Amino acid sequence: MNLVSLFYILVIAGLVYWVVTLRRGLTASEESLELNQREKKTIFMFLDRLGDRLTTANLALDPTLEIITEYILEVTDAESGAAFVVDPADNQLVAKAVLGMFPPLIPTTGYVLTKQKYLSERVKRERIPMGQGVLGMAALTNQAILIADAAHDERVPKEALDHMPIRTIMVAPLRSGGKVVGVVAVVNKRGAGPFTEEDLHLLLPLSDQAANTVALVNLYAELAAKQRIEQELRVAHDFQQMLLPKKCPDIPGFEISAFSMPALEVGGDYYDFFFVDNEHRYLGVVIADVSGKGIPGALIMSLVRSTIRAEARHNLSPRDVLMNANGRTYQDTKENVFVTITYGILDSVERKFRFVRAGHEPLIKFRADSPNAQLISPDGIAMGMVENDLFSMTEEAVVDLDGGDLVLLYTDGVVEAMDPEEEEYGQKRFFDFLSINRSEPPKEIIEKSLEDIREFTRGHAQHDDITMIAISVLDRDAQRELPGLETSIGRSTGLEEQG
């Protein structure tokens, strides 16, 4: 069932409820019966008009209110009318549909009788506070107002009377969900007579149906906007997944696995692998956390990824690469955008990992013969925060690797994962877990880490992206099969999902 069909079903359901309520209130009076029959006919004609005029192309607030106001003018035989809605930003009335020579009904200056087009624009520009004038009073009190003689009613501003003949006015609140969402007003009945109580009886059910219709149109707009946003996020998600490595690299003497799971449909974390040289001896390794999530984070991620790759080619100094990347990132992003990043080069022959850390989490190393975690944290400022004269404090570190060693890189979403009581998973629990499982293959280490985080959070929603890279150093005379862990990234409302 599409949204338009749902729209009409809900409108008809509201009509049925109104008709049933109406029937219960019928009196034996012939006059009341005739009036009620007219009201019912008016409502059915109103729905018929909506069905003929509303389509998916114009199912929006302004055109819907124009259709409603046009029909109200026909039913009440009014010369002009307007529909106003309450702007939630400041709780004031704003005109969305103006038909005929509808006058400004609040005290104003500089108002002159002019062409209908300019008069309508003038009315639409005005913002009417609750309680001000006849329109604001109807909205504030949630009561309909009938003014049979406008010339002698203090609620009608003298400025309007001086410049335009206003004889009679009706205003009815638009009520939906127990609150006033706007008002509808008509001015001057065709001919010489004033609006009557009978006219008001016709206006009130129409205003109720109008309010329900407006509420449904707004709901439709919200659902349509949500669908558009979800579609945009799916596109951004697919784009981000395309940027991540399809699988981890196959390096003789090493086993590498990685994982990334965004807190939103698209996140700010990323990791990357690429060979710096043509001989595939030197492997560039990147893990980063971009400030901001969602689509903005994904776009900054793409910029940083491209910059790092461009600067890293044939450059064996991670510090130089990050210095050059920082210069470009600082120039191309806003002041409140920064990236914490670790970039290193794995020398598969010398078995060394040379890296820099720009404000990122420490590198964790476990030696084969020790359960104690070594935290290696060379100095560095997050990329994009300062110009290169300050960023130059970034230090480069070298880690020697032996068979059985484990190196792990991660983003802060790992240790900041929270349980329902908002207690953090924390570094200690993470390091203790790694110490126990350090001899496992990297893929199993990551999978078991995620399982331990899930047990800790107990289904509590994930509030930050989670990314990990694990590198095991194999003995020179032995090498495990290198399955790699394919990129895993997708929507996740909690740690119970792994992409």
- pLDDT category, 497, cuts 50, 70, 90? very low
Element (H, E) at 407: strand 406-410
| Structure letter (DSSP) for residue 379 | -
End-to-end C-alpha distance for the chain, whole angstroms:
29
Question: Does residue 484 surpass a pLDDT of 50?
Answer: no
Residue 489 lies in a domain: no
What's the Cα-to-Cα distance from 296 to each of 227, 257, 301, 333, 350, rounded to whole Å? 19, 27, 9, 11, 39
Into how many domains does the chain fold? 2
Residue 481 lies in a domain: no
At how many degrees (to 10) do helices 3-24 and 197-243 cross?
A: 150
Bridge partner list, 182: 85, 174
Question: Does residue 496 surpass a pLDDT of 50?
Answer: no
Residue 499 lies in a domain: no
Looking at the fold, whether 186 and 302 belong to one and the same domain comes out as no
Residue 36 lies in a domain: yes
Question: Does residue 170 surpass a pLDDT of 80?
Answer: yes
Looking at the fold, whether 185 and 293 belong to one and the same domain comes out as no
Helices (H), 25-155: 30-53, 61-76, 116-125, 133-141
Contact yes or no for 290/302 (Cβ under 8 A): no
Q: Average pLDDT of 144-148?
A: 94
What CATH number is given to the structural domain containing 299?
3.60.40.10
Residue 233 CA to residue 294 CA, distance in Å, equals 8
Looking at the fold, whether 311 and 346 belong to one and the same domain comes out as yes
* Beta carbons within 8 Å of 18's beta carbon, 6+ residues apart: 43, 205, 208, 209
Q: Average pLDDT of 387-407?
A: 94
| Greatest mean pLDDT among 178-187, 459-468, 472-481 | 178-187
Looking at the fold, whether 257 and 215 belong to one and the same domain comes out as no
DSSP E strand stretches across 238-380: 254-261, 269-275, 282-290, 339-347, 352-358, 363-366, 373-376
Residue 495 lies in a domain: no
Looking at the fold, whether 190 and 133 belong to one and the same domain comes out as yes
Question: Does residue 180 surpass a pLDDT of 80?
Answer: yes
What's the Cα-to-Cα distance from 476 to each of 127, 218, 350, 352, 445, rounded to whole Å? 78, 67, 12, 14, 21
Looking at the fold, whether 208 and 292 belong to one and the same domain comes out as no
Average pLDDT across the chain, whole number:
80
Helices (H), 88-196: 116-125, 133-141, 158-163
What CATH number is given to the structural domain containing 98?
3.30.450.40
Amino acid type, 155: R
Question: Does residue 332 surpass a pLDDT of 50?
Answer: yes
Question: Does residue 55 surpass a pLDDT of 50?
Answer: no
Question: Does residue 233 surpass a pLDDT of 90?
Answer: no
Bridge partner list, 268: none
| Structure letter (DSSP) for residue 244 | S
pLDDT at position 498: 32
Phi, psi of 84 (to 5 degrees): -120, 145
Contact yes or no for 376/362 (Cβ under 8 A): yes
Residue 492 lies in a domain: no
Looking at the fold, whether 427 and 295 belong to one and the same domain comes out as yes
Looking at the fold, whether 42 and 162 belong to one and the same domain comes out as yes
Residue 379 CA to residue 386 CA, distance in Å, equals 14
pLDDT at position 437: 93
- pLDDT category, 27, cuts 50, 70, 90? very low
Q: Name the one residue in this structure whose structure tokens are 């799916």.
A: 234
Residue 483 lies in a domain: no
Element (H, E) at 243: helix 197-243
Residue 76 lies in a domain: yes
Residue 97 CA to residue 111 CA, distance in Å, equals 19
Q: Of 203, 224, 245, which marks where a domain is finished?
A: 224
Determine the structural domain holding residue 431 and report its residue range.
Answer: 235-473
Looking at the fold, whether 281 and 386 belong to one and the same domain comes out as yes
Looking at the fold, whether 207 and 84 belong to one and the same domain comes out as yes
Residue 107 CA to residue 109 CA, distance in Å, equals 7
Q: Name the one residue in this structure whose structure tokens are 């022959």.
A: 349
Q: Of 194, 224, 254, which marks where a domain is finished?
A: 224
Q: Of 224, 259, 274, which marks where a domain is finished?
A: 224
Burial class (CB in 10 A: 0-12, 13-18, 19+), 455: exposed
Looking at the fold, whether 67 and 204 belong to one and the same domain comes out as yes
| Structure letter (DSSP) for residue 372 | S
Total-model pTM = 0.58
251-301 per-position pLDDT tens digit: 999 999 999 887 765 667 889 999 999 999 999 999 998 876 666 666 777
- pLDDT category, 137, cuts 50, 70, 90? very high
Contact yes or no for 337/316 (Cβ under 8 A): no
Looking at the fold, whether 446 and 354 belong to one and the same domain comes out as yes
